[in-house]
Amino acid sequence: MQHWMEWAVAFFLLLGGSFVLIGSIGLSRMPDFFMRLHGPTKATTLGMGGILLGSIFFFSISGDVSVHELLITIFLLITAPISAHMLIKTALHHKLKAIEKTAGLENIHPAQQKQHDRQPKP
Amino acid sequence: MRFKPKYRWLPTPYRSMLLLIVWLLLNQSVEAVHVFFGIILALLIPMLTLRFRDPQPLIERPLLALRYILRVFADIITANAQVAVLILGPKRRLNPAFVRVPLDLQHELPITILASTVSMTPGTVSAEIYPSAELLVPGEPLPQRWLLIHVLNMGDEAELIASIKQRYEAPLKEIFQC
Amino acid sequence: MLDNVIMLVFAMISVALLLNLWRLLRGPSLPDRILALDTMYINSIALIILYGLLMGSPLYFEAALLIAMLGFVSTVAVCKFLLRGDIIE
């Protein structure tokens, strides 16, 4: 195994691992749900990208070219915003409290109202 | 906006291309057999599933779409560095906010792409689009629609809205020609 | 060297999983718990990929792909259930 390739694998793995860790730190230490959502959706997705890139390099140098890890990366990139959107919609529906100093709380109101006075389907 | 595909046997060219690429990635080879079977699947699946879907606007400017994707990738990486600093920094200094952005786009597909992009980029998660699609009365003119986003640390509200509109919404309008 | 790095990344992701578990147990609301579960499945994909690296076998990829797909679908299904009280209307 070439030396510099090993360094590249190590670099990507460490980068990915630290981003995954940062995402979970954000999840555990932020004060309200809406702020907690930011860590897992962004940092964790990029962290997974880093780890999978490291895996691609690792298998490509020790044998055949291996690119199917890209599939997981693409899949996570597409699905992360969707699950974030579903989660924040659920949170608004359940009227979770945001912390006091959040600006623009009045902007939520029309969105919540609309969900509640939903017209019955014909 | 154009809904009608150019060829009847190829209703969604980019989705077919994506299917072929996914098939080749799953098999991890570019042998003739796999390419051949992948092309057959990529043509067959969109034709079989076309009737389940509502017609979606077609991409009119593929090169611009490619540039948009690359720009979003670059933004994701810079955004993550920023968010990492914000998460590890002191909590007291964060100024979370809910902001609503007026939308110029009208169709669901471009709005979905815009909302997903906003979710992946600097410190913002898109929360809701209102009035929601099921409240719209068919036949009436469309009301002004808003995208509600949550910002982790807000500097200037007007600047944020302007940057979203100019950086992401304007290229999407070009790509779908609407 | 690479083995040590892999072990270090293992440790990082384990700490991340523990933090998620803490959030899952503590709550305080249902969306918080779903978010914690969502993050946990993504982190477990990372663990499986790393285990594959350590064993030097590309076979674990399939398991990771399956977990990615099932995890996404289950998150959306639970959210939909909380939103509407029904999954398929």
Number of domains in chain C: 1
Interface test with A, best of C32, C44, C45, C54 (most A CBs within 10 A): C32
Instruction: Record the tokens describing residue B109, joined without a space.
Output: 């597909």
Phi, psi angle pair for A12, to nearest 5°: -65, -40
DSSP B46-92: HHHHGGGSPP-PPPS-HHHHHHHHHHHHHHHHHHHHHHHHHHHS-GG
CA distance B119 to chain A (A): 6
Q: Does B29 touch chain A (CB under 8 A)?
A: no
Judge whether A25 and A43 are in contact, CB under 8 Å. Answer: no
CA distance B100 to chain A (A): 7
pLDDT at A2: 67
Residue C86 DSSP symbol: -
How many CB atoms sit inside 10 A of residue B40's CB?
Answer: 12
pLDDT at C89: 66
Of residues A61 and C75, the one with the higher pLDDT is C75
Lowest mean pLDDT among A97-111, B71-85, B101-115, C37-51: A97-111
Q: Is the pLDDT of residue A122 over 50?
A: no
Residues 6+ apart with CB under 8 A from B27: B34, B38
Domain contains C48 = yes
Residues B130-134, mean pLDDT to the nearest whole number: 71
State the pLDDT confidence band at B97, using cuts at 50, 70 and 90: confident
Judge whether C26 and A29 are in contact, CB under 8 Å. Answer: no
Q: Is the pLDDT of residue C29 over 90?
A: no
For the beta sheet containing B124-130, the strands, ordered from the edge strand earlier in sequence to the opposite edge, are B97-103, B145-151, B124-130
How many CB atoms sit inside 10 A of residue C56's CB?
Answer: 10
Q: Does C32 touch chain A (CB under 8 A)?
A: yes
| Set of chain B residues whose Cβ sits within 8 Å of the Cβ of A110 | 130, 146
Cα–Cα distance measured from residue A23 to residue A75, given in angstroms and rounded to the nearest whole number: 18
What residue numbers bound the domain in which C59 lies?
Answer: 2-84
pLDDT at B134: 67
Domain contains C89 = no
Binding-face residues of C in 12-31 toward A, CB within 8 A:
12-13, 15-17, 19-20, 22-23, 29-31
B157 beta partners: none
Cα–Cα distance measured from residue B151 to residue B119, given in angstroms and rounded to the nearest whole number: 10
CATH number at residue C47: 1.10.287
Judge whether B109 and B56 are in contact, CB under 8 Å. Answer: yes
B146 beta partners: B102, B130
The string of pLDDT tens digits covering residues C35-85 is 999 999 999 999 998 998 888 887 888 888 899 999 999 999 999 888 887
Residues B104-129, mean pLDDT to the nearest whole number: 83
pLDDT at A121: 46
For residue C80, the SS3 value is helix
Helices (H), chain A: 3-29, 33-36, 38, 44-62, 69-93, 108-116
Mean pLDDT score of chain B: 82
